[in-house]
Chains A and B, each alone.
Chain A
């Protein structure tokens, strides 16, 4: 079962930063936070993951709170092509499985 909760949908203006929150209040010490996105009729695309430190790559930044009970995915300059469903997933290091929650539908508007 998914261990995360996310808002159902969010809007963001093109060119602005998109901040997508995720709550994972029952996260355990060895569990990582992963973010994926799914554009309609495609497989999920990996974005970023982290354990406790903030992470940044060419796609996004991941901010994890100190207590690790929540995180925020930041797309610094959203484009129309970033419109997708974004999934936050928690998974233990020694277990392979992903259980997807409902995700957040991000609508980037011109």
Chain B
């Protein structure tokens, strides 16, 4: 159980394009999902917390107008990288926590590798 699916797994696009990444919890409901970014040979960096039915909260230094997050249902959050540039190339990973007790772990998707040419 507790499977999180990300789509697409890899995307290559031209500079200036907007890219949407989907994160779905397949067998559980999640009021909260998280988005991370990981550059090569670095650790995961939390970008934002996605809350179902309300605005996302962003970590310091993350541009909310650049990284649009929508969490319209209990099983789907989307991250849109707007007007992507080569410096936005990275591995984007989402996670979700099972609705319920506070100490339940987050479950992660397999990530989306974004390459901007």
Give chain A nearest CB distance to B9 CB in angstroms: 10
Kindly state whether residue B113 has any CB partner on chain A within 8 Å. Answer: yes
Kindly state whether residue A81 has any CB partner on chain B within 8 Å. Answer: no
Interface size class of A (residues with CB under 8 A): 20 to 34
When each residue 19-36 of chain A gets 1 if its CB lies under 8 Å from chain B and 0 otherwise, what string results? 000000000000010101
| Contact present for B105 and A46 (CB under 8 Å) | yes
| Contact present for A44 and B93 (CB under 8 Å) | yes
Kindly state whether residue B32 has any CB partner on chain A within 8 Å. Answer: yes
| Contact present for A43 and B109 (CB under 8 Å) | yes
| Contact present for A43 and B110 (CB under 8 Å) | yes
| Contact present for A99 and B46 (CB under 8 Å) | yes
| Contact present for B108 and A44 (CB under 8 Å) | yes
| Contact present for B32 and A41 (CB under 8 Å) | no
B6 (CB) vs chain A CBs: closest residue: A43
Kindly state whether residue B49 has any CB partner on chain A within 8 Å. Answer: yes
In the bound assembly, the distance between CA atoms of A34 and B107 in angstroms comes to 12
Q: 8 Å CB contacts to B: which residues of A62-110?
A: 87, 91, 93-94, 96-103
Partner of B49, one of A46, A93, A97: A97
Cβ contacts under 8 Å, A45 to chain B = 108
Q: A41-B111, A97-B34, A97-B46 are in contact. Are A51 and B103 (CB under 8 A)?
A: yes
A contact set with B: CB distance below 8 Å: 2, 32, 34, 36, 38, 41-46, 49, 51, 87, 91, 93-94, 96-103
Q: A42-B110, A98-B95 are in contact. List 15 more A-B contacts (CB 8 A).
A: A32-B103, A41-B111, A42-B111, A43-B4, A44-B44, A46-B105, A49-B105, A51-B103, A91-B103, A96-B34, A98-B34, A99-B46, A100-B36, A100-B45, A101-B43
